[in-house]
Structure 1
Amino acid sequence: MDKQSRRPLLGCIADDFTGATDLASMLVRAGMRTVQTIGVPDACATLEADAIVVALKSRTIEAGAAIAQSRAALDWLRAQGCRQFFFKYCSTFDSTDAGNIGPVADALLDALGADSPHGADFTIACPALPENRRTVYHGYLFVGDGLLNESGMETHPLTPMRDPNLVRVLQRQTKSKVGLIPYEAVAGGEQAVRETIARLRKDGARLAIADALSDDDLRALGAACADLRLVTGGSGVAIGLPDNFRRAGLLATTTEPALLPEVDGPAVVLAGSASKATNAQVAQWLSSRPGMRIDPRALARGEAVVEQALAFVDEHLAGRQPQPVLIYATATPDEVKAAQSELGAAVGELVEQALASIAQQLKARGVRKFIVAGGETSGAVVQALGVQMLQIGPAIDPGVPITVSVGEKPLVLALKSGNFGSVDFFAKALRYANGERP
């Protein structure tokens, strides 16, 4: 391998923090040395890795701001020497009719087209993640056995997904023509996908939803995208990209697991997601372990909720048998709707700020391990903790790795997307945080 091959090959931009760790975990598993940054690093920073994932908190912000942040991340990744770029969003295509998936994809294509016109005039969009039962068929996104709009995502407080047809969803977000790479083409393998892409380009499509039902489908898509400057999708599509670099002689064949440093200190679980999966995980935890719920109405009234939560944690960590606790704002869709009706859309931000403040103060008190549920919550917590870079370790559950921050006093972090993880995820994550493995 030449000198260039020791520089990053794949530069990734993720629209939230848990999605970034999901993607980084996928790349590590595929044998790429991967580093995740929290936000865009300083211009002078240089990293030695096969892949870099820049984690943004841009999924639900105004589209113009999301574009600006994503362009800044792209500029930094290009300065690192990356050969190909990946825009990562959620496997449930979380967005609104105004964006941000379409606007950001358009902006990245525009930026890359300036120096590579042919390779940046087209990209795919595929959120499929079969191992977590997210599949796309004829443009429709399925979660398990049901359509996206029957999965609970239709009641998401920030990005309610009420249309399962992703071609329609993406077309409402972009002025570019959106096509479809149907399952029949994907099942036909790499060459059939390439031929479909050529036809779509000829017809004027700039973006195309890609079907996928299995990991083999994702590998076929990945191989067909080897020459594209930009690929977009969920973390699943990334499993097909590393082999492209191997075939080009740019990436070693080793798939050694990532080794993380050991970190001593107590742990805490923080949950802000209102997803079905996190609700079930909270209920499982509370069946045998201590937890305290944060009431957004009490926060809005100015009550000392943060101080009460800190006292609750102190009580259980200082006992004869110290035990980790759960601090959560997780609620049912009806409870979320009632809180939004009373407090407005700012209810989510109130909760995020409270959990971030709790995390920051717990770090000052010596807590070194944080299990966090919810993409927006994870972003707020990581920023409050001052984490700038993560080493990526093995997966606790599909899409959720254990990580350790880079710095003088490292922290163990497990950042979980709301919909991810088994029902006993919190207990399992704590075992990983303590250096245990199943």
Structure 2
Amino acid sequence: MSLLAVIADDLTGAGDTGIQFANTGFKTRVFLQWTDVEPTNDVEVIVLNTDSRAVNETEAYTRVQKASRRLKELGVTGIYKKIDSTLRGNIGQEIDALLNEFDFDLALISPSFPANGRTVVGGYLLVNGELVSRTALAHDPVFPVRESYIPALLSNQSRYQVGHLPLSLVSQGSEAIASFLREAREKKIKIVVADAISDQDLTSLVVGASLSGVNLFYVGSAGLALPVARSWATSYRQRSKQLMLLVCGSVNPRSREQIDVVAQKAGWKIITINPISYLRDESSWQDSLKRELDSILNSFNLEGLILTTPGTPDEVAKVKEAAIQLGLSLPDLPGKVVLALAQATLLTLELVPVKGFILTGGDTATAVMKAFGSKSLDLFAEVSPGVPIGRFVGGKYNHYPVVTKAGGFGGKEVLWEAVGKLRNL
């Protein structure tokens, strides 16, 4: 299933940008119309043409909106919005459509394409060193470009606040860029126009965006597309590697000791979900968890992940106190917590493929199986006495291997032993 997409406003733009992704090893397909896009397992980057450059702004918004909804149905999470390198088209309206349909924090835009004489300095687009509004493009018969200052152009086309990332910061490198993007997110700036006068500047923008942890999409010409494609290739290949997922909802100290052994010996990262945040605002909780998962998956070469809930006595007490403040019944709380853990499991599986599962705690195993739509297990071996290995029967993860373990069962290294069993299946 494709997780990445390029949205272009004309067919030639779809081609010149799509080839940047193909050149980095992605299986890339260009669709003449967004309505032609169908689910497929042999395409990694979907490139679609909304043919919206020369239509009116309302129609352009609608086309990108509909295309976005189709891509969401297909599970696409990474977006590159291809625009004309000379700013022709309904750029602001199409950015708005993407911001409204996806859960992005902001859009990072730079039409710079140094190899073709396009650069951005002080927020102004220059073509071969001249303001774009002073070139022949100002007299384009279909879409004349009369504004060179990109923040002003976008402010006239978009309903969102526009910020500017100056060359003085871009030249400082990726850390400075990352810091600026985090500040922009905090200030609710939804569109950031970035200066860039060289390919190195464009690469720094992408590296900085990756470091920032900001959930953004890119807007640019073929110039920005190449460093984005390289960045996506690194991340996507890591995510294409099948991981193992350990899900622990047990607060038994033995279970906590066992998952610590796996983390130490296998180098797996532990993600402790916040069940109270889930109960307060599921949408915000999902956004926060996605950002954390993205950061971990982009930064580490992992064999597996551990999802768990607060487990120390102090942590459990804080969860109970918060639940009471929310008016929740304490007898109902454990069920709510494992439900949050099951939802976190599903969210993780949207971002990364897996080869097998380890489920610790009876309520946890039940909640995850229900979330998967699996109603039974075929058992075929044991890790140790009372710790079986089986395969899900039915549901989304039919026939996937799974180890189930009661919270207090097994020795200190039983989950580490379970990892070894799954490795060899």
Into which bin does the TM-score normalised by the smaller protein fall?
Answer: 0.5 to 0.7
Contact 1:91 1:129 in 2 (8 A): yes
CA RMSD of aligned residues (A): 2.1
Find the aligned partners of 2:135 and 2:25 in 1 and give their Cα distance: 33
Q: CA deviation at 1:251?
A: 6.2
Asked if 1:107 corresponds to 2:97, the answer is yes
Counterpart of 2:222 in structure 1 is 235
Work out the number of aligned pairs and report it: 237
Counterpart of 2:88 in 1: which secondary structure? coil
Q: Deviations over 1:176-206 (max 9, x none)?
A: 1111011112112221111111222233321
What's the CA shift for 1:164? Answer: 1.1
Contact 2:26 2:233 in 1 (8 A): no
> What pairs with 1:179-194 in structure 2 (closer than 5 Å)?
179-194=163-178
Shift of 1:229: 4.2
Q: Which of 201, 214, 229 is matched with 1:217 structurally?
A: 201
- Of 59, 63, 79, the residue aligned with 1:65 is 59
2 CA distance for matches of 1:246 and 1:51? 10
**Relative to 1, partners in 2 of residues 1:204 and 1:44: Cα closer, same or farther, differing over 3 Å?**
closer
Please give the per-residue CA displacement for 1:343-365, whole angstroms capped at 9, x wherever unaligned: xxxxxxxxxxxxxxxxxxxxxxx
- The alignment status of 1:169 with 2:153, answered yes or no, reads yes
Residues 112 and 229 in structure 1, CA contact (< 8 A), matched pair in contact too: no
Please give the residue correspondences for 1:7-406 in structure 2 after superposition, counting only pairs within 5 Å. 7-42=1-36, 44-46=38-40, 48-95=42-89, 100-113=90-103, 120-226=104-210, 227-248=214-235, 250=237
- Over the matched positions of the two proteins, sequence identity in percent amounts to 28
State the secondary structure of the residue aligned to 2:157: coil
Aligned pair in 2 of structure 1 residues 129, 47: CA closer, same or farther (>3 Å)?
farther
Gap change, CA 1:203 and 1:168, over 3 Å in 2: same
3-state SS, counterpart of residue 225 of structure 2: helix
Q: Which runs of 4+ in 1 moved over 4 A?
A: 42-45
Letter in 1 for 2:223: G
Which amino acid in 2 is paired with 1:201? R
Q: Distance in 2 between matches of 1:35 and 1:241?
A: 17
Secondary structure of 2:112's counterpart equals: coil
Q: Deviations over 1:215-262 (max 9, x none)?
A: 111111122333534221212211122333344362699xxxxxxxxx
1:168 and 1:236 mapped to 2: Cα distance?
22
Match of 2:34, SS? Answer: coil
5+ residue gaps, structure 1: 1-6, 114-119, 254-438
Distance between the aligned counterparts of 1:58 and 1:140, measured in 2? Answer: 24
Larger radius of gyration: 2
The SS at the match of 1:69 is helix
**Match of 1:401?**
none
What is aligned with 1:325? none
Higher helix proportion: 2
CA distance in 1, matches of 2:239, 2:16: 22
Q: Which amino acid aligns with 2:108?
A: I
Contact 2:61–2:96 under 8 Å retained in 1: no
